[in-house]
Structure 1
Amino acid sequence: MDPLPKRTTLQNTGDAGENWVRQYLGRQGWQILAQQWRCRWGELDLVAARAGVLAFVEVKTRSSGSWDQVGLLAVGILKQRRLIRAAQAFLSQHPHLSEWPCRFDVALVERRTSQEGTGYALVDYREGAFELY
């Protein structure tokens, strides 16, 4: 039997970016309810709660210099639809949260490499980046 495939650098970068945003949100007083929550319609990077609000956070991580003025286009209409369906599935499995106000946030993270090592920085964080339609 073949061994499991190794994770790609891209996957590792994405995971590191999600972990960075998880810590960032924690410092802002958010409680992380789920990370990399999966269902048949896709994955929710982070599900966070604070003060009776539920945020479904999509994290996009790129290497240094890869973000431009239209970075939010990384979460296009098809991706938004998948995130909405995944959020609905999450809420169906957690009915006690279904009455909470919900929003979809997008975090744009940059991976920076220097002689000191690799670090991450928040390029943009958009609360309510898109809505149900």
Structure 2
Amino acid sequence: MTKIGELGEEVVALWLTQQHYRILYHRWHCRWGEIDLIALDEKINQLVFIEVKTRQPKNWDHDGLDMVNVGKQKKINITAQVFLSQHPPWQNYSCRFDLILVTYISRKNNYLQDTFKVLNHDQIMDKNHVFTIKKHLKNII
């Protein structure tokens, strides 16, 4: 069974492709950490390291924002440096670190199988949840 955080990352990947991003890696990891998504913002030709936080509404940590503290930011930065050292073709691109906050509500949609359906600009549904892109914060580090 897929975890809700992984579903949130898949929803964000779909949403980003609609915003002219090309998803390069999903859950890229090394011994120092993991980056949820690595994408190319094709509008400005910029490499983007993306942290995704998926929460239910009315959560205690401001939709996951509180979890991206200085320690987490350093870990993402080090992991991105390792990525760039292992992937020389991407070293010449300018880089950005984004945070995307997603909320979801559980609900049964019997007519959907294991696919996503875009409801509007920032809402995507699967057979058990409705996901909402709450915030896309650019350049968090």
Q: Which TM-score band (shorter chain)?
A: 0.7 to 0.9
C-alpha distance 38-69 of structure 1, shift in aligned 2 (>3 A): closer
1:38-57 equivalence runs, <5 A: 38-49=29-40, 50=42, 51-57=44-50
Unaligned runs of 5+ in 1: 1-6
Normalising by the residue count of structure 1, what TM-score does the alignment of the two structures yield? 0.83
| Match of residue 101 from structure 2 | 108
Q: Given residue 65 of structure 2, which amino acid in structure 1 is its aligned partner?
A: L
What fraction of aligned residue pairs are identical, expressed as a percent? 37
2:79 corresponds to which of 77, 83, 86 = 86
Normalising by the residue count of structure 2, what TM-score does the alignment of the two structures yield? 0.79
Rounded to whole Å, the distance in 2 between the matches of 1:19 and 1:67 is: 23
Paired positions, count: 121
| Match of residue 16 from structure 1 | 7
Contact 1:37 1:43 in 2 (8 A): yes
C-alpha distance 122-67 of structure 1, shift in aligned 2 (>3 A): farther
**Are positions 1:98 and 2:91 aligned together?**
yes
Rounded to whole Å, the distance in 1 between the matches of 2:29 and 2:46 is: 21
